[in-house]
Structure 1
Amino acid sequence: MKYLMLIISIFVFTSCYNDVQNVRIHGTIADSISKKPLENVKVSIVCWNYGKTPDGSYTGKDSIIVTTNKDGHYKYNFEKGTFFEIKACNNGYKIGFKSDEIINNEVIINLDLIPNH
């Protein structure tokens, strides 16, 4: 019984800090009032990963800036990740921001930007 508990403890500890593989982050950026999609918005995506750390600290990150298309859509694929940060910037709007854990390999984040009035 003692050895079984040790094996279970090791498995739980090591499985807590695993990166999700083949992460696809995508979504739509829209005007918060009109709800119309916004074209040519710069979207900064940072995808943090554990790598092989046993203590739960992030060892690396990948970052990219993409631009929304005419339908306000953006997307990017990362090899692996465990936490993301998204920031959307457009002239005439306040910066939109979202961050969270990556639970599965598809992350959908839609942001409504607030006009600067």
Structure 2
Amino acid sequence: MKYLAIIIILIFTSCYNDVKNVHIHGTIKDSLSNKPIENAKVSIVCWNYGKTPDGSYNGKDSLIVTTDKEGHYKSNFEKGTFVEIKVDNIGYKTGFKSDEITDNEVVIDLDLVPLQR
């Protein structure tokens, strides 16, 4: 019975591990022209488990970065398990994407839809 309890604890703790040294990056483009969007505001929220045994998110880190002239953005986080990206730029609808972090290299590209005039 003691060994069964140890096995169950190991299963639960191994399922809810954060990925360490997470590098999140991507490209933001215009959905119609396929051209990169410079100076778009990219809000990144990186959620982590911490030490929770039940699989609930325990904490988060947030950053706001802007895209370069090629539409690229990047950020680094100490740990994470789920990421949310929100992109704002004048003349475009707000873009949003989220993804589970399974590797320390996460690429999230987003095409923004221009507002109708």
Smaller-chain TM-score range? over 0.9
Letter in 1 for 2:73: Y
The separation in 2 between residues aligned to 1:22 and 1:42, in whole angstroms, is 23
Question: What is residue 74 of structure 2 aligned with on the other side?
Answer: 75
Please state whether the residue corresponding to 1:12 is helix, strand or coil.
Answer: helix
- Structure 1 residue 4: deviation in Å? 5.6
1:58 offset after TM fit, Å? 1.1
Provide the TM-score with structure 2 as the length reference: 0.93
Q: Which runs of 5+ in 2 are unaligned?
A: none
Shift in Å, 1:3: 5.9
CA-CA distance at 1:42 after TM superposition:
0.2
Q: Which moved more, 1:5-14 or 1:47-56?
A: 5-14
TM-score normalized with structure 1 length: 0.93
The equivalences for 1:91-106 within 5 A come to 91-106=90-105
Q: Distance in 2 between matches of 1:92 and 1:12?
A: 49
| Paired residue type of 1:60 | G
Equivalent position amino acid for 1:51 in 2 = G
- State the match for 1:30 in structure 2: 29
Unmatched 5+ residue regions in structure 1?
A: none
Alpha-carbon distance in 2 for matches of 1:40, 1:27: 14
Q: SS where residue 11 of structure 2 aligns?
A: helix
One-letter amino acid of the structure 2 residue matched with residue 103 of structure 1: T
Matching residue of 1:13 = 12
Q: Secondary structure at the match of 2:8?
A: helix
Query: Structure 1 residues 8-17 or 44-53, which shifts more?
Result: 8-17
| Cα drift, residue 9 of structure 1 | 2.7
C-alpha contact (below 8 Å) 2:12/2:54 kept by paired residues: no
Letter in 2 for 1:87: K
Query: What SS does the corresponding residue of 2:93 show, helix, strand or coil?
Result: coil
Say how many residue pairs are matched.
116
Task: Let me know the Cα RMSD of the aligned residues.
Answer: 1.2
